[in-house]
Chain A
Amino acid sequence: MKSAVVVFPGINRERDMMLALETVTGSKPVSVWHTETELPKVDLVVVPGGFSYGDYLRCGAIAARSPIMQDIRAKALKGLKVLGVCNGFQIITEAGLLPGVLVRNKDLRFVCRQVKLKVENNQTFFTNRMQKGAIVSCPVAHGEGNYICDAETLKRLEAENRVVFRYAEGTNPNGALNDIAGIMNESGSVIGMMPHPENMIEPLHGRTDCRPLFESLLAA
């Protein structure tokens, strides 16, 4: 399983993501700088978390228009697997790879804590080693994770089983519609999520709940 992790100015979770990918899948990901125009040949591209461009204009907006995103968009449409985590979710949503938008947390507070995540769809490249309905612990760290979209899009996401992760009852940290924590595109090749599974995979993290997510990549 070959993977690449994209790095923009202001991204700060790329090392955690690369370490998680290498630890669980056994192969070292390639780091790709945002000014590059073509991705190396890989099976998966991860857009990690952080604060690309200091969240200027809107979170993820500037990074979404960077040179490498053009190639990611083109290849994602052809089926390349793309995973966006936290700021990465905001970036790929701004780039139009996923519907809707992530806005300021409802109570305006930056949240940095553990939430309970419910796996709603276990037929994806990142959840196939999980039980449907499983509830796992996962950290979140964001100020703009409130997922919103229009009523029709929401209806489609739910009807088409495209809500991959939901905050388990009572742990929604940001006011997201229908407790949405992660979604996928129509074909299932693109997944975006606010929580940080890369920080819950080894005993040093306190728990290893999210390790099966990365193990799923090997089966996908």
Chain B
Amino acid sequence: MKAKIKVTLKTGVLDPQGKAIEGALGHLGFDGVGEVRQGKYFEVELAETDHAKAKEQVKAMCEKLIANTVIENYDIELA
């Protein structure tokens, strides 16, 4: 099984990289670009075959290492 994890900054957390990208899109002439927020994407190969157990395992990984929940949210998709 493979876990696909998206980590995004919580609302209200300053994202200077997103801001820089937003500015660059403007310089390239893309009109109508609103706020840009940058995040991270991870793919984790798992030996676990049980969906529920895998989800628990990946959730623990996110809480303990992959995301810093002070500033980040995470979203898990199993495939």
Contacts and interface: CB of A to CB of B under 8 A. Distances in A.
- Are A and B a genuine interacting pair, yes or no? yes
Interface of A: 57-58, 61, 65, 94, 99-101, 103-108, 146, 148-150, 175
Contacts of A149: 70
B41 to A, nearest CB: 13
A148 B13 contact: yes
Contacts of B68: 58, 61, 94, 101
Contacts of A61: 65, 68
B14 interface: yes
B78 interface: no
Given A148-B71, A149-B70, A150-B70, A104 B65 contact: no
Interface residues of B, number: 11
Contacts, number: 33
B6 to A, nearest CB: 15
Given A57-B65, A61-B65, A108 B17 contact: yes
B69 to A, nearest CB: 10
Interface in B26-79: 64-66, 68, 70-71
Contacts of B17: 104, 108
A105 B15 CA distance: 10
Nearest to A109: B16
Contacts of B65: 57, 61, 65
A94 B67 CA distance: 11
B1 interface: no
B20 interface: yes
